[in-house]
Structure 1
């Protein structure tokens, strides 16, 4: 899943059908999702293995057959729990529902966060399971009329959420407190996104959040399960993976420096830590698979 910025502001799909689809295996440059957020909704279905998804301050472990729903504006990231994990995701904009079908006021309650859709659906929810599977199968094959199938199934999904009461009503005080924490994270993520190629210190990150370095470390780790510097290096490696597989004109050394590493041996050591391989082997493996 290619998330090159924490706040993804790019257009999804096209104007008439703002839906984007991704099929992700362990050879995908964005196999493990860095934390990010966007103004669109996202649905993930796990085909094989297991993935841990963090959404704001909650964590969900999804196995084959499980579904994760991510509301717009939520900070989220993921890590495959098993090496053979395969998952798909679709990202869609609420502009897709600018139609006169049904009661638009009910949909607006979701879009305006008065009603918060549950994030996790296991195989127990068979009707939702069938609906989401139909959506992904249509997006994968893109046969004639698939857009109508996707839109119809998304309406069906919202209808089933309402039918089975698979949502919670928002509580203003809780949301306000929670959003303050998320806002601090978003500011730190924005700094990392825009300045990861530059030297960044713990003090730089802490100052962006408005917290002392000591408290910021505890806060950041409680939200992401990583220390700030560990996460910065993790994000730099994710960016390096994207460049290694998309820019053949740059050397590994050039890419290392462009991603904020000023020492090639440290870059290779850090790369091996997060990817269990060297940059050269990563490139070779990626292109061997994509050229099959």
Structure 2
């Protein structure tokens, strides 16, 4: 599996396929690297931290995450993460489309469990901690799913879907489910504005992008926009654009034999030297080193034990 694709969990990726829209990923990063750039996707996601300590942001909420804890991300939530204390980070993610859980016909499960989950009226706590007995059970089910996905034995799909439904059954008890169907109007506006800007960057990264045109999308003054964008992503607009362009370049370097200069221009850089400088800062290697495979591949363990 391509490392760049693994790291990004990009919103334009297909996780699994139409028959079984679910995929699992294992990622290991050295200290000091961005864990997840700000992005969103239509799928739900369980993010389990195996090693290190990170700061996670979902929409406008930010919180630390310790090894052994997991984050649940509802479909459509903007999220990002960065390592704390410049320590190495190892994590895994289970990404699935909510349609996977739908019943073939409207029944009691659809009414009592699936619909409330899809509407966020009865969803998982944002942070799952082993300190809570019932959340520890959820983490155990997640562990089992990751192992099953890695082994890909016959019947894996049945086990995965049944485990997800079992996890939802744990929310039936009073005071367990979280209700995120309603959110503060101001927060909703912030998230909508950020999504609009990110979508514009993704659609036009090959072209020159001015801060003024991004600010006008919201609309805000350039100064207001820069402060808003950094408060939501922890990056300046220029840093985010450069990071996105470098990630696209990394895909092209791994998949094609095109000249580095051509790739630089194709992803929106107008200066090859600057492209190489930015690429090295973000990817910890030069474009040529990256292409030659000197960047270490992440491990994909068979399970989630500390030794895996």
Q: Would the TM-score normalized by the shorter structure come out above 0.5?
A: yes
Alignment partner of 1:19 is 2:22: yes
Aligned to 1:86: 90
Structure 2: how far apart are the matches of 1:13 and 1:180?
A: 31
Alignment deviations for residues 124-182 of structure 1 (CA, whole Å, 9 cap, x no partner): 2321111110111111111111111111111121122333734333464x343322111
CA apart distance, 1:115: 3.4
Aligned residues: 285
Superposed CA deviations along residues 217-238 of structure 1, whole A, max 9, x for unmatched, are 1111111111111211121122
| 1-structure distance, mates of 2:9, 2:207 | 16
Q: Select which of 201, 204, 208 maps to 2:217.
A: 208
Please give the per-residue CA displacement for 1:69-120, whole angstroms capped at 9, x wherever unaligned: 1100111123344554222212111211222675322321120122343221
Q: Write the distance in 1 (CA, Å) between the matches of 2:293 and 2:34.
A: 14
Instruction: Show the counterpart of 1:123.
Output: 130
Which residue of 2 is the match for residue 240 of structure 1? 249
2:279 corresponds in structure 1 to 271
CA contact (8 A) 1:41 1:91 kept: yes
Could you tell me how far 1:206 is from its partner in structure 2?
A: 0.6
Q: Aligned ranges for residues 185-264 of structure 1 at < 5 Å?
A: 185-247=194-256, 249-264=257-272
Residue ranges of structure 1 left out of the alignment (5+ in a row): none
Select which of 147, 150, 164 maps to 1:137: 147
Partner of 1:163 in structure 2?
173
Does 2:136 align with 1:105?
Answer: no
Corresponding residue SS for 2:269: coil
SS in 2 for 1:159: helix
Change (3 A) 1:72 1:224: same
Q: Secondary structure at the match of 1:168?
A: coil
Check whether the contact 2:269–2:275 (CA below 8 A) recurs between aligned residues.
yes
Structure-2 separation of matches of 1:269 and 1:40: 34
**Is the CA contact (8 Å cut-off) linking 1:24 and 1:31 kept in structure 2?**
no
Change (3 A) 1:269 1:61: same
TM-score w.r.t. the length of structure 2 is: 0.82
Report the TM-score, using the length of structure 1 for normalisation: 0.87
Rounded Cα–Cα distance in structure 1 between residues aligned with 2:166 and 2:8: 32
Report deviation, 1:289.
4.8
Q: Could you tell me how far apart the structure 2 residues matched to 1:164 and 1:133 are? A: 25
- 2:122–2:171 CA contact under 8 A, matched in 1: no
* Rounded Cα–Cα distance in structure 2 between residues aligned with 1:223 and 1:122: 25
* Root mean square deviation of aligned Cα: 2.6
Q: Does 1:151 align with 2:161?
A: yes
The match for 2:69 among 54, 66, 69 is 66
Matches of 1:180 and 1:186, distance apart in 2: 10
Tell whether the 8 Å contact from 2:8 to 2:36 is kept in structure 1 after alignment. no
- In structure 1, how many angstroms separate the alpha carbons of the residues matched to 2:29 and 2:293? 11
- CA deviations 1:256-279 (Å, max 9, x no partner) are 111211111111211222223322
Match for residue 55 of structure 2 among 31, 34, 52: 52
Q: Secondary structure at the match of 1:262?
A: coil
2-structure distance, mates of 1:244, 1:193: 19
Higher mean alpha-carbon deviation, 59-68 vs 214-223, is at: 59-68
